Each structure stands twice: as structure tokens, then as C-alpha cells.
Chains A and B, each alone.
Chain A
Amino acid sequence: MPHRFLIIAILLATFALSAILLWRQDASTTSSPLTMTPAGGDFTLNSKDGPVSLRDFKGKVVLLYFGYTFCPDICPSSLALVSAALHRLPPEDQKQIQPLFVSVDPERDSLDHLQQYSRYFHESFIGLTGSPDVIKSVADSYGAAYRKVAEKSSTAYTVDHSANLYLIDTQGKLSGQLAHGTPPEEISSALSKLLHPQTKE
């Protein structure tokens, strides 16, 4: 008789444990918008040379990054890695890649400044921004998160932001994301694979 109770207890415990594990797994994939697979898609933002849409770059691989130029550390670090990755690729491949830097801080980032800033990292970079509403919808569709934070600091405010690099294939489809700090060789190999899907390493 006690054996039966024991078996039932074990079964219940197993069931409870797997339920918890399943629930936790579920929570980890849905709780944060940053871990969901975003839809991506076309967008139009402003550059110094006029409006720019993602569809303008059909046939090229697009590397998309959201940041702001007041960002003293994370953005320059990410962009420097992109710069190094691009420079590792042969010039003919570099021409087939369009890096885009989207400022989530249009209040402080003028189009002039954005162009100057992003071209420092690679001559092909385009600096983009738009109205807060438009930026929000673009960021949402790529799963990029940011929020303005008031600080008792000379920066007046800082912007918390996700720092993933978004890889968009030659058809304008979001193909993948690379986390902040991904080494240049991994970025360039990911770009290379998108440019030359038929060739294997």
C-alpha cells in the first residue's frame, strides 16, 4: 500500500517538475522582446541625402544597428567591430554590403552629424533617423529596444538600448542577429555567407 503512494508521489513530482521546466522555457522565450524572433521588414527613414528605404538596397546584404551618437562606449565599440569586419572582406564584397546606423535619439542627432559619425567607421555607412514614432515602429519590427533615461549627469539623459546587429539578406529579409561584442571574423563570415549562399566554408 505505501508503495502505491510512493509511486503516485513520484509521478506527481515528475509531472510538477516538467511543468515547471516547460513553463520556464516558455517564459524565457516570450518574456523579453529581445529574445523573440522579430519580423523585420521594409522601412523608410531620413538620411542627410534624403529618404532611404530598406528596399533601395535589394541585391545587397544590409547590416542594421540601432544606437545614438552620444553613446560614448557601446556604440563606438559595436561600430568599430563592424568596421573591422567590413575591412576583412574583399573590396568587391564590401561594395555589396550596406551598413545602416539608425539613431534612436533624433532629438540630439542631426542628419549631418549622423553622416559624419557613421562614415568614420566605414565610408559606405549611412546614418538614418526619423520622427520618434517612425523610429519606434522600425525598432519594434526588428526587436530593438531603447528607452530614454533622465540622469543627474552632464549628459542630460542617456539612452538604454539593445545592441544587436541585424543581418538582412539580399531580398530584404531579416536573416539573423549578432549579439554585441561579436568578433569581427564572425561578423564578416556571417556577411560572407549571406553574400555567397551557395559556397560553403
Chain B
Amino acid sequence: MKRAFISTLLALTLSGPLLAAGSDSIQASDPYVRAVPPGMANSAAFMQLMNNDKNGHALVAAESPAAKAVELHTHVHEGGMMMMRKIDKIDLPAGQPVALQPGGLHVMLLGLVKDLKPGDQVELTLIYEDGSKSKLSAPVKMIEGMPMQRGQMSH
């Protein structure tokens, strides 16, 4: 009996280091990057993040070959002012979805290597607080609500 208890305890203790890595427990869905007007320096990536782990995680950085620098940003609306701010991390509480969406949290792509057109794919690497990484490919989409313009359709 005592042995069984000890082995259970041991198993529980051993399972500690086996905690799920951020990259294994966080599901990134519907990622996309905004198409930009020609010559525009920056864009942003949006997605839904779901932490399926019992423990909280955090997105602490992101990388992409499409931009010179990638940062995590948020928007604060205060007294009618729109304020964009760099943040150190995006908390991903256990079992909760977190939306990266226009007007709020986003992965900012600074210094685009080339113009982003609808249909292009952008590689993104998400880096979590435990150092684990996950890679994803996000399609470039026209800015929400914007109709296709004649000039941009291929003839």
C-alpha cells in the first residue's frame, strides 16, 4: 500500500517535467496577414490562439522571413485616441481562446521585405514562454471589408 502510494507520488512528480510545451498545447487557427498598399513598410498578422493545456502559457515573440522585425503589439483606445503599443507577451490562459484581431492584439510585421499581395503566403514562427516554437503559414488577405478593385484583378 505504502509502495503504491510512493509510486503514485513518484509518477506525479515525474510527470512534472513532462508538462506540455507551449507549442504542443496552443492551437493557432485562421491565421492571416493583411495585404498592404504598394510600398507600405508594415503589416500585421492576426489569428485565433487556443491554449488547450491545463497550464497557462504566453506568446513572447514571433519571427518571419517576410519582415525585418516582428513584434507583439496591442491597441489601446482612450478618450477617442488610438494608441498602438509594443507588448512583451500575450498571455494565453489555460483553456481560453485569445483573438489576435484588427484593432486589438496583433503580430506586427515591420519593414516588409516585399509588398504583400492577396494569395501570398507568409511563414510565421510563434515563440512561447518556455522557448518552444511552432511554425505556421498564413495566407495574405485583402483588408477586411475592402472590395476587390478593378485595378487589382488580373485580366
Q: Which residues does A use to contact B, with CB under 8 Å?
A: 32, 34-35, 69-74, 76-77, 79-81, 83-84, 87, 113, 116-117, 120-123, 145, 147, 149, 151-155, 158, 160-164, 180-181, 184
Tell me the bound Cα distance from A135 to B119 in angstroms.
Answer: 37
Contact pick for B82, options A76, A81, A162, CB 8 Å: A162
| Total A-B contacts with CB atoms under 8 angstroms apart | 104
Question: Is B16 engaged at the interface, CB distance under 8 Å to the other chain?
Answer: no
A123 and B110 contact, CB distance less than 8 A: no
Which A residue sits closest to B42, measured CB to CB? Answer: A72
Could you pull out 7 A-B pairs where Cβ atoms are within 8 angstroms?
A: A72-B42, A72-B106, A74-B75, A76-B37, A123-B151, A162-B82, A163-B82
Contact pick for B143, options A76, A153, A163, CB 8 Å: A76
Set of chain A residues within 8 Å of B149, measured between Cβ atoms: 83, 120, 122-123
Question: Is B19 engaged at the interface, CB distance under 8 Å to the other chain?
Answer: no
Set of chain B residues within 8 Å of A70, measured between Cβ atoms: 41-42
Extra A-B contacts (8), CB below 8 Å, given A113-B39, A155-B110, A161-B81 = A74-B82, A77-B143, A83-B146, A145-B80, A154-B110, A154-B111, A155-B42, A158-B85
A154 and B37 contact, CB distance less than 8 A: no
Interface size class of B (residues with CB under 8 A): 35 or more
Tell me the bound Cα distance from A69 to B41 in angstroms.
Answer: 8
Set of chain A residues within 8 Å of B17, measured between Cβ atoms: none
Would you give the shortest CB distance from A92 to chain B, in whole angstroms? 17
Q: A121-B146, A155-B110 are contacts. A73–B84 as well, Cβ < 8 Å?
A: yes
Set of chain A residues within 8 Å of B40, measured between Cβ atoms: 69, 117
Question: Is B61 engaged at the interface, CB distance under 8 Å to the other chain?
Answer: no
Which A residue sits closest to B143, measured CB to CB? Answer: A80
Q: A70-B42, A154-B111 are contacts. A84–B83 as well, Cβ < 8 Å?
A: no
Question: Is B30 engaged at the interface, CB distance under 8 Å to the other chain?
Answer: no
Which A residue sits closest to B101, measured CB to CB? Answer: A73
Tell me the bound Cα distance from A127 to B56 in angstroms.
Answer: 45
Contact pick for B147, options A87, A117, A153, A180, CB 8 Å: A87
Q: A72-B42, A74-B103, A154-B110 are contacts. A180–B36 as well, Cβ < 8 Å?
A: no
- In this complex, the member of A80, A116, A151, A152 whose beta carbon has the largest number of chain B beta carbons within 10 angstroms is A80
Would you give the shortest CB distance from B39 to chain A, in whole angstroms? 5
Contact pick for B71, options A113, A121, A154, A181, CB 8 Å: A154
Contact pick for B146, options A34, A84, A160, CB 8 Å: A84
**B95-131 near A? 1/0 per residue, CB < 8 Å:** 0000000110010111100000000000000000000
